[in-house]
Structure 1
């Protein structure tokens, strides 16, 4: 039913002060407060950015389409593809009754060890800003608000709720604020999320300079600013700084806001302004005109063929071909292939944390290759393990909610051996939550089995009436569940063949923390890998014409709440690659990680694909690339360092620079992250920013400037011809970097200022034109508080990666140019 949209100014004035304040915190985890008296509907938000989970828990819930993660989309360097993804996600959001998607994530890759590395696009602010702008435009064209995050300085997970990111002003302006500025000015997002952390000593959610002076006044942002979940630390102070909406609800930080507003006119004015922002977001998402059913029961999990096709195409286009000696790839259509490794028969399609969802499907590389080649041409062996935790069970589970006397007061049926509580049955109080979870363990054969528990709360496990794991009496805080949970506790038990009754007892544990509480428990169960598994994989690989070794990490390793473990592949994966290669010289490594890893076998391996976590159609996308149905369209959006010490945040004494100490993490590297750092330090990366191969070859020629000298305030166009010089259709990325020949302040050796994705049939050519304006030439002068482009010479470098820039053009700026932010 269509409802007329009210006049917001009139509606705002009709609200009592108490009602205005009620709009400034969520009603629950995913919804704003509805005010039926004035027909103000609730607005539902949903986690993204690689899908729309809806209003359920992080596991289970309504099935949804899982898109490639941020770094996979970043690898496409394809602005129009990001726009398509945004449009498709808007439709998914409508299915879930959501008018707001908590996406995109546009923090930069400052360090290779950031736990949410997989979730962002790139190390470069310009590439990030261009891709994010298109994503936001596509999403909002479908009537769904983007929530650009995390503003700002959230480049690692270590102590993220309290740490101060101490960022020099030039680095703040030129790197970390720049993609947000581009998105705000070019895409006009309707919402932005503040980060948990402090910047230079002040919580972002309480920073008038960041939220009001820069975001609203300088850039003209006219939308709503919401907190990250639990990232509101004060009442009137955060509101006066510019934070409109506290999430989740009910309010924890703003419980005394009414009293503050009644006694302080400035706070009362801030309440009025922020309530207006909530109303405007409801209007922009057309929720007044078309109120949504925001309940979980109304969510739809519809699968669409065009969405599947888009995810598959995007996954292939984000896959980066890093090595292809003697043209080993693509594989022949009639090849026999051994698919080996811990990621071979498992669809590793997403990272962990709030970005995870219940995907419609998780197509593994093995499934994809068998569908393409036929089952009789594809063999498989796991070889080794790369799991951080024992796997969960897809089993029915009964939850019995216990009263104070131990009697059952409510029951609930779920599926899966990981349970998170975001809502409770009627009559069950969160303050006295006590649950007994019953499930059946099936042992196909008699033998030893591994079991594990970790939980955000107290837990213990009994099997057949015998206690197996005690994670109750000596519960210790660990790194799971956004640092609310314990570490995994394991045990091994001999089980006879057949079914065994397991009981998990769970009770919340109050954890002193600055963010909202969280309750969850996870049971892991499996039979250990046979001792012969490694040798069996090597044998099978040697019997096939080709071997595809599927190694990497999982969403358990690459996840929100904890930073990456290091750069070595977990377990025996490096040894497995070397052993398979010795058995079969025609070996392809398919690497799935959320960021750079070390590759001690690189020189010996003839072919290497970086596949990331490319969404639910992963195996089909990989098969398309492996067989040449699709060109590997990806180019690295992040420098792959040769060793951890080459990372700009890991000098000899790294603690204060990464991960931080005494409540501060100092961005001492300033402007020099990624390829900027590699240029300055003179290090040779394993793979350079922008790198990637095609199954064909390209040549750039006939580069020209529209003018060799520009006046202050003018722009200049750069044109270059791209020709496919090979025998197949393919894709490349034209990359333009700018160098300031002589600047008063230190600048990077080169900076990305333009790019274009080009697809060409064999033998054809296309002219690409890229535009440079004054901001392209400028740096931020913190002594003048201004953007400055100095008169003099600039070099324009053109090529197909940051390490391959054969074309050089000269440009002169006649006079100094400057502009205030």
Structure 2
């Protein structure tokens, strides 16, 4: 089905691995499986083994250091990458990430995330590709191929069932066998078969009563049935059982060195509770990884020509974002003849740009995927670069929810201080957040660290009441303008160890300050303890919020700007407290008064375009009252340029990879909270996303899976189908060049008896095409045998459904233009 060329192991690897293994004693082998810090493995020079470095994540390579001193490229979110429906483009994304990995001395990228969009409430929804397993698998194949063909490893994650964040450490997901096979395991199977990934990451959660790191049955499925031959790393802190984990096939328990392996594993072997043979199997897989990435002496890496850089990466980031944007709606305003988009630069004399996210771009979701780019292009930046002073900005609303890390107007550094009072060199900060995760600057030993000092200058941005606060489990001494304003402990009483260090800030003092004044700030932080089970980590922050504006005034100003402009562009967004790793969403509403803002602007100007800057679905109660809606996801650091391109005529290339509900209560799957026994039952079976929507009479989503409009028109002229492929002829019947995603769906004949029910449609193929006005394109799309199969729980095997199937092609699952029967024996 794919033409990916996975790097092939060299014949000498097996001999080299056995030779290195023979030089390791039990203690060294156990330490190799434990890691030495947050991101690195043990080096064993006598065996020719150097340390290997792994790194988050899916939208950019952070490297060992979570700091603005080591900036990273910030790509569009995985929901955006998949919205391109373009494996060729995604392969280039993989190449770019591999180049970033090389630049940061990273051997293995902890990505891609190939869990599914089971529910729109999933907090990490933005980090996964799709609700559909086939689309997820195809995009992930390209992602892994692009990274690994450049000599950097990947880890498919999170194996398996990490589809929500609530109680993720303890939840037991109860999933039927057919559902597991057809939905949640399918992308892992597809990636393994096509591109031979070098790694997998096992999840925090349990599945059907067993933690994933100790799940013998599902690991055997991955290795023995799917053919996975890479290394298996735990999610960070997921490994809890020494014997069960090693015997289930967990190879690397991270982060090190305080894991269930190391000394604990040595004791288990010495006491006869497990066999050293299990340890050796895990070490072999780690040594094979080392050979593949070039970390084992005496053998060549799997890839000779390893990419070191990508020319003009900003241009690629801009292209990715542009191709991901979904034009969800594009109508003519009342009394008009043509759709409001695209705009024409020479015809726009005044454009009102409205919304906090227009000026302060929301480019990524929260959690481990976070990176610090060197520069970010906001929508305001991009449109002013294109249109100059014809763009008039109005904030519109105030999205304040709680005090956040000091940001605008602050120039800050942080440095550690030794026990003896010696200060190490300071590092620049991107914001008031300090995240020394798994290391201390200067490789300072943990027992030599006493406290940290964050200091700098705040150039007051606005006259009024400014509130300062702190975040972090420890003692804080806050000094503003030379005066100690807080000197006390900050306690934590919750259950989640991550929340203790990433939790909310606490307001400490409010001061009246005048705009333009330069105010010295300083925060001394002494942690009570380092995170248990983790290498030395210091996480704390200086928090700040400026004067809260009068929102009625802001909305009135926005309405006035819209009324006096030819077109109004409103950028709405979620916030850092809405979409993030670590928690699920409670609803799908936009934060604050943004819905009210859009309604007021649309009433003032019929030419209102709404840009939805979110990583996952939100409710849009005003959708029928605006002229156009563009879904930009989290578009990465070049999102502002891409938005200007699309508004001014560049084809928006994206199609939805997940179905958008109009209202949360209409969604087929909303349960993400375990029951009182800690179990989350996937009672919906195979019916998630569009599969579920098509089963529900009387319910219609806002936008169906696969939806996305074009600036031109497309005619589907012919379809020829046989059992192995379909050929479709498509014509660009519109006035401009465009891009289309041809989608192929299958349906078995009516009345076929399938255990557990049958979908109305299932995605079976797709192809992105481009065409000039009047041009006809013919595409041939192969069909996999698996697309005609179902998993039989009675037989515990795949079964092809014989008879007549319907093949349908079109622009979305709800806009199918041509149909044809195809026979299966």
Q: Same fold (TM over 0.5)?
A: yes
Aligned with 1:679 (options 694, 698, 713) = 694
Count of residues paired in the alignment: 783
Query: Does the CA-based 8 Å contact 1:44-1:100 persist in structure 2?
Result: yes
Residue in 1 that maps onto 2:27:
18
Whether the 8 Å CA contact 1:480–1:487 is kept in 2: the answer is no
CA spacing shift, 1:474–1:65, aligned 2, 3 Å: closer
Per-residue deviation, 1:12: 1.4
Quote the residue 1:727 is aligned against. Answer: 735
Q: Pick closer, same or farther for the CA change 1:382–1:743 going to 2, 3 Å.
A: same
1:375-386 equivalent positions in 2, closer than 5 A:
375-386=388-399
TM-score (norm 1): 0.91
Q: Cα offset for 1:800? A: 0.7
Residue 44 in structure 1 maps to residue 53 in structure 2: yes
- Aligned-residue offset at 1:766: 1.1
Identify which of 201, 210, 228 aligns with 1:221. 228
Residue 749 (str. 1) matches residue 760 (str. 2): yes
> Which of residues 594, 618, 629 in structure 2 aligns to 1:597?
618
1:295 aligned residue: none
The alpha-carbon deviation at position 247 of structure 1 amounts to 1.2
Contact 1:160/1:197 (CA < 8 Å) preserved in 2? Answer: yes
Give yes or no for contact 1:20–1:275 (8 Å, CA) kept in 2. Answer: yes
Residue in 1 that maps onto 2:584:
563
CA displacement at 1:473 relative to structure 2:
5.0
Query: 1:390, 1:451 within 8 Å by CA — same for their partners in 2?
Result: no
Distance 2:653 2:266 in 1: 55
**How many Å separate the matches in 1 of 2:696 and 2:771?**
36
Q: 1:333 aligns with which of 303, 324, 345?
A: 345
Contact persistence 2:268–2:274 (CA under 8 A)? no
Contact 1:384 1:576 in 2 (8 A): yes
Question: Does the 8 A contact of 1:233 with 1:514 survive in 2?
Answer: no
More deviation in 456-465 or 379-388? 456-465
Deviation at 1:303, TM superposition (A): 8.5
Paired residue for 2:806?
795
Q: For residues 40-119 of structure 1, what are the structure 2 equivalents within 5 Å?
A: 40-57=49-66, 59-119=67-127
Instruction: Give the Cα–Cα distance (whole angstroms) in 2 for the partners of residues 50 and 133 of structure 1.
Output: 16
1:695 counterpart = 2:711:
yes
| Mapping for residues 203-602 of structure 1, pairs under 5 Å | 203-211=211-219, 213-254=220-261, 255-264=263-272, 267-288=275-296, 305-326=311-332, 327-334=339-346, 335=348, 336-373=350-387, 375-388=388-401, 389-393=403-407, 394-399=410-415, 401=417, 403=419, 408-416=421-429, 417-422=432-437, 423-424=439-440, 425=442, 429=446, 433-443=450-460, 446-457=463-474, 459=476, 461-464=478-481, 472-477=489-494, 484-491=501-508, 493-497=510-514, 498-509=517-528, 519-531=538-550, 532-602=553-623
The farther-off stretch of 690-699 and 518-527 is 518-527
Separation in 1 of the partners of 2:85 and 2:674? 29
Relative distance call for 1:310 and 1:561 in structure 2 (3 A) is: same
- Aligned equivalent of 2:210: 202
Structure 1 residues without counterparts, runs of 5 or longer? 293-301, 707-714, 815-821
- Find the counterpart in structure 2 of residue 648 from structure 1: 668
> Equivalents in 1 of 2:353, 2:731: separation in Å?
36
Offset of residue 14 of structure 1? 2.1
8 A contact 1:479–1:487 mirrored in 2: no
Shift of 1:378: 1.2
Asked whether the equivalents of residues 32 and 42 of structure 1 are also in contact (C-alpha less than 8 Å), the reply is: yes
Separation in 2 of the partners of 1:291 and 1:306?
33
Matched, 1:166 2:174: yes
CA distance in 2, matches of 1:801, 1:739: 15
| 1:392 CA drift (Å) | 2.2
1:299 maps to: none
CA contact (8 A) 1:25 1:248 kept: yes
Q: Which moved more, 1:64-73 or 1:463-472?
A: 463-472
- Give the Cα separation in 2 of the matches to 1:258 and 1:796: 57
Distance 1:148 1:480 in 2: 25
How far the C-alpha of 1:557 sits from its partner, in A, is 2.5
State how far apart, in whole Å, the 2-side matches of 1:35 and 1:400 are. Answer: 30
Which residue does the alignment assign to 1:670? 685
d(CA) in 2 for partners of 1:88, 1:397? 30
State the alpha-carbon separation in 1 of the partners of residues 381 and 783 from structure 2.
Answer: 46
Aligned equivalents of 1:561, 1:799: Cα separation in 2: 38
Shift of the 552–342 alpha-carbon distance from structure 1 to 2, 3 Å rule, reads same
Given that 1:457 and 1:520 are in contact with CA atoms closer than 8 Å, whether structure 2 keeps it comes out as no
What CA deviation, in whole Å up to 9, does each residue of 1:717-753 have, x standing for no partner?
1111111110111111111111122123211221111
CA distance in structure 2 between the aligned counterparts of 1:149 and 1:84, rounded to whole angstroms:
20
* CA distance in 1: counterparts of 2:186 and 2:170, whole angstroms: 24
Alpha-carbon spacing, 1:114–1:444, altered in 2? closer, same or farther (3 Å): closer
Q: Quote the Cα distance in structure 1 between the aligned partners of 2:616 and 2:264.
A: 43
* 8 A Cα contact 1:792 1:813, kept in partner: yes
| TM-fit CA distance, 1:483 | 6.2
Shift in CA distance, 426/169, structure 1 to aligned 2, threshold 3 Å: closer
CA-based RMSD of the aligned residues comes to 2.6
* Preserved CA contact (<8 Å) 2:492 2:500: no
Following superposition, the deviation at residue 50 of structure 1 comes to 1.0
Shift of 1:463: 3.1
Question: How far did residue 586 of structure 1 move?
Answer: 1.1
Q: Secondary structure at the match of 1:732?
A: strand
| Matched-pair contact (CA < 8 Å) for 1:351–1:556 | no
Distance in 1 between the 2:563 and 2:485 partners? 42
Q: Which consecutive unaligned segments of at least 5 residues does structure 2 have?
A: 1-11, 301-307, 333-338
For 1:250 and 1:704, how far apart are their aligned partners in 2? 59
- 8 Å CA contact 2:744–2:766 kept in 1: the answer is yes
